[in-house]
Structure 1
């Protein structure tokens, strides 16, 4: 018997981080700060922040500097060279922070980049201090505070899209320069909109559903998925995305939510991010559920920030259609990612991936059931069928647990 432990699996992004040297990170930071300001800068009292990605993340205090630097700084050090032909997390993060640092302070939705160096593969950023994350709010005991933080996150995501929608050429130029200096390709030629190329999702998932669940995908559902894939790879509605839209990658500050961790940052269709509001934290290693109505409120908050940029989204039917198609593609991708690993699972938990899949498919069935667009009734029926089959296998009555703040 195998128990569903998917909710507690460690993220592979953090593998090896414990072996990285704090001392090397501090030395690299001192070097790039000295190069940036033209004078020796000494950092002390280094504290390991235990980042979840490939970088060593350290908080350090400025001991001596002739310049008006913040008292403490955050260092992100990527040891070792970039690998040719592979996506370079350092290049993506450095290009992302450079893009935002060039914006006005009110449009900067992340800490300020103070110094960086491709040779040292290090970034030094402003330290917001010991602020709570969105995950802290969701896992706390105050439902009102959690709701406020979620709406702030959605608004901040809309502001991020609004301020970066016309900066794709700038971001790509920064990324090319950093990748060239790192002597490795940036891996950006492949569309990573939902983790793999959307065409791969539409090509592979129907066969998986047929083989693993004996569920046949109706033609209108194929059409909806193909429609989404074409939309997401087109040139419309493109803006910067952190990609890893996880609760612990966002700080709750007095000025609103601030985004962290741009190791996979890129410009892509903003509809991918907006669909994450409909399928909350679908790519998070440990997602839980939100209460009824919360996703709709988050979409409304995001929409209010971007409708002046993309007037099409002022039309309810247009926005709903785009979100529904993209939601389908996200859930197909999540199913392709998680279902094969659940083949031998029984006694599935309410915090694991089996429960997440059942909940996400049921949500899609509900959203499609409210649509009056031709073909969406088939999407609703397809989603309900998949949810029923998954629940029969891993349940019954399996639903994803709410975040603690809403229990």
Structure 2
């Protein structure tokens, strides 16, 4: 069984080394280090040293494009969108928003440089974290909930080529399909390059199965030969509504539903399934729900479980749990118990000494 966590908020190598040692002692197998545009510019050597400290403790190292171009998950600022406004998404309201258009070739070039940088820094796995178009639910932008993107000239031309029609102002089923296909094309181009450099590739899609189109998109991503690990992150405490209707069913049912979907796809396509557990913004008194989420993922057959993030995200005030250590303890106890159970289940399938003789 694989047990992991994201790690961010420090580039002081000796401090990070101590944290990696704590993960080793807890039985963790993996760690995800965020790698932002700022890291590309100023912290390449530091991240390389951090990856080396992680490897020295037997940890597999993931790296994610933390808020790069504001189209991946994370809480970092993007230089790209400020320097290249012409490459940004245009909303259905006609306004330009500070997030790159997924059909931008300059974005693709940026991401190729990012892959080169994380490979040089020592990544084992690149983690495409929540690739998305304009997303009101994230609260990133001051925008009306009905606004969608992208309707830039580039996207409208590509839409016309595909459908022989003008892109509508409404987000129709065809528009959703066009957006899914554009996102998939970008991910597949980037993943092929990463694989050519010897990196493994993980993709984490947002838990938003609202239509058959969305489910087809999951199939397309999970089935692609350059994708090794397919994941989603059904975070159970995001406020009143979450991202979809399943959120309101509670932690156990919400996580079980999405973990089951991941398991189904990965069994069909021979991929490794992964579920991410919320360990940020946990309200005081609800820390037990972290363990509930872990047990639900494990019960659905997932054997690769990560948390976002290390020690209840204590190093970032915006994401910090009300009681970070309590939230972290809930996660670590639950995944260690799952690992013990998994090891016990494996032991029951092994021949006893008499059979070996």
Return the TM-score normalized by structure 2.
Answer: 0.26
Return the TM-score normalized by structure 1.
Answer: 0.24
Larger-gyration structure (1/2): 1
Q: Which structure would you say has the larger RCO, counting Cα contacts within 8 Å and 6 or more residues apart?
A: 1
